[in-house]
């Protein structure tokens, strides 16, 4: 069922796109899956979900979406990336597989799988001043970490040890964790405020 809010897409080539569609629809957006360029043309903004960033990269190129996505992001389309989506939006990726590319847009250096393998996934509460109370309950699953933030980007949240796990830059928002699986809707709501 279509919401009355903005028509936003969720990149639906791989990863946990269904969860994002549900959250966005609960917030009133007209959320649709995006798998083709013509579907991208029909949305005002895009969420790039968690999943496997190297596979997502290959699929965006295979489906002819990589260049149109880069152009839309560079032109200011509101975009939100979680986990692998954050990697896809980073200008620079460390520990990328050979030939891996990103869409860019965030003036950051991100490291893939910074916390280790699946067995080292964890949950923690994170203070995010812009979102107020309560703290965000964050789930990290083979998550990246932002190793450095350029002058164009802004840190939104860090772990207790200072590692950066949420950033924004203009119309782009990125988190290293998965708010879509913990009923934490404030990041999606912040994304929707960009319309």
Say if 2 falls within a structural domain: no
**Average pLDDT value for the chain:** 94
Say if 122 falls within a structural domain: yes
* 64 pLDDT higher than 80: yes
Say if 1 falls within a structural domain: no
Active-site position among 83, 168, 184, 188: 83
With cut-offs at 50, 70 and 90, classify the pLDDT of residue 5: confident
Supply the range of the domain harboring residue 43: 7-192
Exposure string for 29-52, b = 16+ CB within 10 A, e = fewer = bbbbebeeeeebeebbbbbbbbbb
- Residue 180 designated active-site: yes
- The pLDDT tens digits for 161-173 are 999 999 999 999 9
Residue 3's pLDDT is: 65
Say if 155 falls within a structural domain: yes
- Give the pLDDT mean for 66-88: 97
Active-site position among 20, 168, 180, 184: 180
Residue 171's pLDDT is: 95
- The pLDDT tens digits for 96-148 are 899 999 999 999 999 998 877 766 789 999 999 999 999 999 999 889 999 99
- Residue 130 designated active-site: no
Structural domain count, the chain: 1
Q: What is the CATH number of the domain that holds 163?
A: 3.40.50.880
- Give the pLDDT mean for 13-42: 96
This prediction has a pTM of 0.95
Say if 33 falls within a structural domain: yes
Say if 133 falls within a structural domain: yes
Active-site position among 20, 168, 178, 184: 178
CB-count burial class (<10 Å; 0-12, 13-18, 19+) for 99: exposed
């Amino acid at each position: 069922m279509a919401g009355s809010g903005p028509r936003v897409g969720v990149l639906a080539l791989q990863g946990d796109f269904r969860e994002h569609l549900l959250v966005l629809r609960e917030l009133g957006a007209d959320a649709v899956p995006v798998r083709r360029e013509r579907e991208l043309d029909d949305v005002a903004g895009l969420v790039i979900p968690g999943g496997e960033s190297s596979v997502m990269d290959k699929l965006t190129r295979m489906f002819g979406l990589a260049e149109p996505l880069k152009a839309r992001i560079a032109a200011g389309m509101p975009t939100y990336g979680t986990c692998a989506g954050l990697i896809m939006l980073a200008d620079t990726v460390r520990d990328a597989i050979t030939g891996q590319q990103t869409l860019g847009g965030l003036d950051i250096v991100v490291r893939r799988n910074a916390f280790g393998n699946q067995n080292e996934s964890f949950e923690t509460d994170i203070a995010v001043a812009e979102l107020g109370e309560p703290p965000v309950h964050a789930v990290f699953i083979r998550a990246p970490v932002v190793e450095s933030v350029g002058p164009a980007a802004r840190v939104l949240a860090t772990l207790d040890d200072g590692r950066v796990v949420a950033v924004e830059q203009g119309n782009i928002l990125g988190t290293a964790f998965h708010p879509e699986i913990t009923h934490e809707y404030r990041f999606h709501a912040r994304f929707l405020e960009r319309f």
